[in-house]
Chain A
């Protein structure tokens, strides 16, 4: 990648990757609504285009043409910055994911896993700043909840991955996938897998862990004051977040692109799609815990479990004669 000629394919890669991601996130909003409709005995959006698939376009146009409004009582600079952070951090984090040995932007980054954790850590700023700068009590409550929730679940999410890193001996996501050639980590690291996925739901603040939004309590929580494309950026950010967490789970625990018969890209897509659908099913099925219950669940149950998981994994690696 050193000589200047390689810049153009690199750029092309980024542009195509971004375009694909945006399209996938947009399509996901439609998929989610159709799936929810299916789960809930109702049609879902089915008017615009075949099976309502152009609903995405209609929504996009609506959001784009809405007045770009900043409430007079808000802090304008921060108010604008917050949705940008939401979108930028998830998109940057996606860059480290290798979809196949050849597709991916920086799938070979030697600190890929850390980069992912760093970006999702930065993502907390978006909700906190949005909640704070809106100068609205509901937003503030949402922002406060978001800060506490995301910071704590960041901890469990990071710790739940230690086992994977110990087993694979690398932070490089491509290496992690390679090391799962024979056995997916979901088997030896089942606890880590469950906790990582729960942390992922908390990070993307989706039901049942959507307390920062908590629509029946806080209206729309931290983004109550947002409308138009700024709201759209939170929205798209959330859906890219879903893809991100699903893809990361695939990479870390389900052996990434590995699978028989089908080409690697298909396998990656199927596995990721499975988790995306699971996200949506969760949303259709579960109620929302109360904020304090959710926090004590994290600190009193998940934290000891992750630590135990690390302990046991470490002991086994030391005790058993490893392949390496």
Chain B
């Protein structure tokens, strides 16, 4: 994709018509995100942030428009093709309950690599590397219930990074965290972004996240209201 563009959406429309009154969630969104960006998608509730993130992440399908991720048009992939695509190209961090409760932190991180049938040696070294990167090398054998909310989100980031995805989508990752945990998580993400050039895209209400983002895209009523970059 030209100019290191990892995400490109053109004229994106999404209408939810399961209800009596159809909801027009996205109305012709155009957006390009380049490799290494640290982007926050903001806007009031119902503005279409989560819908946009879900479509970019291949979790939902657009009603109209084009979605290219890492050079691939994903709008027409089958369900299983989309699952395989997500597994290889996209890392997810959700708002909460991100981890599989019966697996340890280490097992959660290596889970996607297991699905990709990576060798044990590769899984072990990558998991250790990532757990060290998120500052939790000493909590590898703990289960999610034995970790704080902030630690769980850091493990979720490590898991999202495990398959070396093109970018990470984080949907309100700090919504349930206290100030200190939020600061720690954002510090860690910013460092990974800066040092390893990992692309992060957030949807958020959280001003602390918005303040740290280098690009802020504001949505309102399903349209891009503003798009500011700052260095």
Partners in one complex: no
